[in-house]
């Protein structure tokens, strides 16, 4: 599996890593949600806080008309990003958190709030083996 863990096993991953990185592909989401930058920002900020992360800032951009949104929530513990394709009812998330923050909880909260019907999750522990912590 090359260091990739399902998100359900994230909590059991080695704690000597610097952080955990989750890539989440979410599908089956209502297109109107994937065009709504303020709602997406609210969902991601709430998820970050519930995961124990400290939000530093957020920036979201709607590409206009029927197009999607790209956004980033900058965290003291790293970041959450999203890019959406409303025409495909699809959102790609990148959640990287270090310290005691819990990216598994963030992705689950986001998927629930977006009412995602399909989830494809890939998780890896970040760090260099043998390097001092």
Domain boundaries, the chain: 17-123
CA torsion angle 106 108 111 114 (round to 10): -70
Residues 53-63, mean pLDDT to the nearest whole number: 98
Weakest mean pLDDT among 50-54, 109-113, 119-123, 124-128: 124-128
**pLDDT-derived band at 40, boundaries 50, 70, 90:** very high
13 Cα distance to chain centroid: 18
- pLDDT at residue 96 greater than cutoff 60: yes
pTM as predicted: 0.85
Out of 3.60.90.10, 3.90.1150.10, 3.40.50.2300, 2.40.50.140, the CATH code matching 17-123 is 3.60.90.10
So what's the pLDDT on residue 22?
Answer: 96
Active site residues: 78, 83, 98
So what's the pLDDT on residue 118?
Answer: 93
């Amino acid at each position: 599996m090359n260091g990739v863990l399902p998100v359900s096993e994230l909590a059991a991953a080695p704690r000597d890593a610097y952080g955990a990185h989750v890539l989440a592909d979410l599908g089956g989401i209502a297109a109107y949600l994937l065009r709504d930058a303020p709602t997406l920002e609210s969902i991601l900020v709430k998820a970050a806080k519930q995961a124990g992360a400290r939000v530093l800032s957020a920036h979201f951009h709607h590409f206009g008309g029927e197009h999607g949104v790209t956004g980033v929530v900058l965290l003291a513990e790293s970041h959450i990003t999203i890019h959406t394709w409303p025409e495909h009812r699809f959102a790609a998330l990148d959640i990287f958190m270090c310290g005691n923050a819990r990216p598994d909880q963030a992705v689950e909260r986001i998927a629930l709030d977006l009412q995602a019907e399909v989830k494809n999750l890939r998780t890896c522990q970040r760090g260099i083996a043998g390097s001092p912590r």
